[in-house]
């Protein structure tokens, strides 16, 4: 089969010919890949490849897969050969979706939503993360104000739409001036140019000095400090990029702040409940996409053989919108 492989020693991606992978555990399925999404975590494999046991020059990445089951492990239940599925893959495994065939734990599959393969494959990493952050970690439907650091990115763009659909009154985000109209079209009620404006002061002005009930950091760096600083009394900070350090946030204890960490991929390595949480997020988010409440904007499709160059471009921040590789019809 054709596949895009990663070479750790040279930090390069190559188009390779590999044997079709086989099930590696009794719960696995082999999936014929129809479409696979490209995500920042895929291009940054140079930062995390040491986590993958047995990685060599034939490692295949690619987490977000739309495909069709072609083989079942002996303990697989609830699925049949020929079923169309969607999943967010486990980055610690060797046979990902940047190939004609991939291997996945059947217990983290969901039924393919009634949307085109490329639309479905654009959603798991970013969309399911946004859902888990705003609906599982905190119930956004019970809150009136939200700040998203990085609303124009993958997770941020879906989080804006989820907040708008939930009826949140005040949705504030940061974006460069060129992207202000874009994030407003997704649901932002206020946009702050982080390059030109004082984010903390702007949010204080917007909220009458009260701050926001929830802050979501989709960017990393020092944005956790900014998110903590703009929270109202007993507000919630959700961090997606780094480990939170509450002792570094001004008056975190006296203000009664709450802190939440979220790693979508942890759903693969923390037992049955973690797998169920991952599946639930996937099913719920996909339903919103099917119903038209969530849109995949600025979607670009490429062939399999261009995945490597696009991953390099993503690492250099030379891409815009969501990129999905079409592998098979």
Q: How confident is the model at residue 111 (pLDDT cuts 50, 70, 90)?
A: very high
Q: What is the pLDDT of residues 93-108, one digit of tens each?
A: 999 999 999 999 999 9
- pLDDT classification of 319: cutoffs 50, 70, 90: low
pLDDT score, position 159: 98
Average of per-residue pLDDT across 74-96 = 96
pLDDT at position 198? 96
Beta bridge partners of 17: 2
Query: Smallest Cα–Cα separation from 90: which of 136, 137, 138, 27?
Result: 27
Q: Is the pLDDT of residue 229 over 70?
A: yes
For 21, which DSSP code?
P
Counting residues of the chain whose pLDDT is more than 70, the rounded percentage is 99
Largest CA distance in the chain: 62
For the cut 70, the answer to whether the pLDDT of residue 69 exceeds it is: yes
Q: Where are the beta strands (DSSP E) in the chain?
A: 2-7, 12-17, 28-37, 59-60, 64-72, 84-88, 101-105, 110-111, 145-149, 170-174, 190-192, 212-217, 231-239, 258-261, 299-303, 322-326
Reported as a pLDDT band with limits 50, 70 and 90, residue 138 is very high
From 47-61, 63-77, 161-175, the region with the lowest mean pLDDT = 47-61
pLDDT at residue 318 in the model? 59
Q: What is the pLDDT of residue 49?
A: 81
Number of H helices, E strands in the chain: 10, 16
In 3D space, the residue among 207, 170, 205, 177 whose CA is nearest the CA of residue 192 turns out to be: 177
Quickly tell me which residue has 């900070």 as its tokens: 237
Whether 329 has a pLDDT exceeding 80, the answer reads: no
Q: How many CB atoms sit inside 10 A of residue 314's CB?
A: 17
Residue 216 has pLDDT above 80, yes or no: yes
239: helix, strand or coil: strand
Q: What is the pLDDT of residue 86?
A: 98
Report the mean per-residue pLDDT for the chain: 95
Lowest-pLDDT choice from 1-15, 20-34, 226-240, 308-322: 308-322
Q: Measure the CA–CA gap between 92 and 60, rounded to whole angstroms.
A: 11
Q: What radius of gyration, in Å, describes the C-alpha atoms of the chain? A: 20
User: Cβ distance 287 to 280 under 8 Å?
Assistant: no
- Least Cα distance to 90 among 123, 67, 62, 70 occurs for 62
CA triple 240-241-247, angle to 5 deg: 90
* Torsion on CA atoms 261, 266, 272, 276, rounded to nearest 10: 70
Residues in contact with 209: Cβ distance below 8 Å, sequence separation at least 6, in sequence order: none
């Amino acid at each position: 089969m054709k596949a895009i492989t990663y070479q750790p020693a040279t930090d390069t991606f190559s188009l390779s010919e590999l044997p079709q992978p086989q099930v590696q555990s009794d719960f696995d399925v082999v999936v014929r890949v129809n479409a696979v999404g490209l995500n920042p975590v895929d291009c940054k494999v140079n930062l995390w490849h040491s986590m993958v046991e047995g990685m060599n020059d034939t490692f295949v990445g690619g987490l977000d897969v739309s495909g069709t089951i072609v083989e079942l492990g002996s303990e697989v239940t609830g699925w049949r050969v020929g079923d169309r599925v969607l999943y967010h893959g486990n980055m610690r495994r060797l046979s990902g979706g940047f190939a004609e065939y991939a291997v996945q734990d059947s217990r983290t599959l969901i039924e393919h939503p009634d949307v085109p393969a490329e639309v479905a494959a654009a959603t798991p990493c970013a969309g399911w993360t946004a859902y888990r952050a705003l609906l599982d970690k905190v119930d956004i439907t019970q809150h009136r104000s939200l700040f998203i650091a990085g609303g124009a990115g993958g997770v941020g763009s879906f989080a804006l739409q989820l907040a708008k659909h939930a009826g949140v009154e005040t949705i504030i985000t940061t974006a460069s001036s060129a992207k202000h109209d874009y994030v407003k079209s997704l649901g932002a009620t206020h946009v702050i140019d982080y390059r030109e404006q004082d984010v903390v002061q702007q949010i204080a002005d917007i909220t009458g000095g009260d701050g926001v009930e929830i802050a979501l950091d989709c960017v990393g760096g020092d944005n956790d400090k900014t998110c903590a600083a703009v929270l109202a009394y007993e507000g919630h900070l959700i961090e997606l990029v780094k480990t939170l350090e509450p002792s570094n946030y001004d008056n975190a204890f006296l203000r009664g702040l709450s802190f939440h960490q979220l790693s979508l991929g942890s759903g693969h390595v923390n037992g049955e409940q973690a797998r169920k949480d991952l599946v639930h997020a996937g099913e719920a988010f996909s339903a919103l996409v099917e119903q038209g409440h969530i849109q995949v904007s600025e979607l670009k499709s490429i062939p399999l053989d261009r995945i490597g160059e696009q991953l390099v471009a993503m690492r250099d921040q030379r891409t815009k919108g969501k990129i999905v590789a079409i592998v098979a019809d």
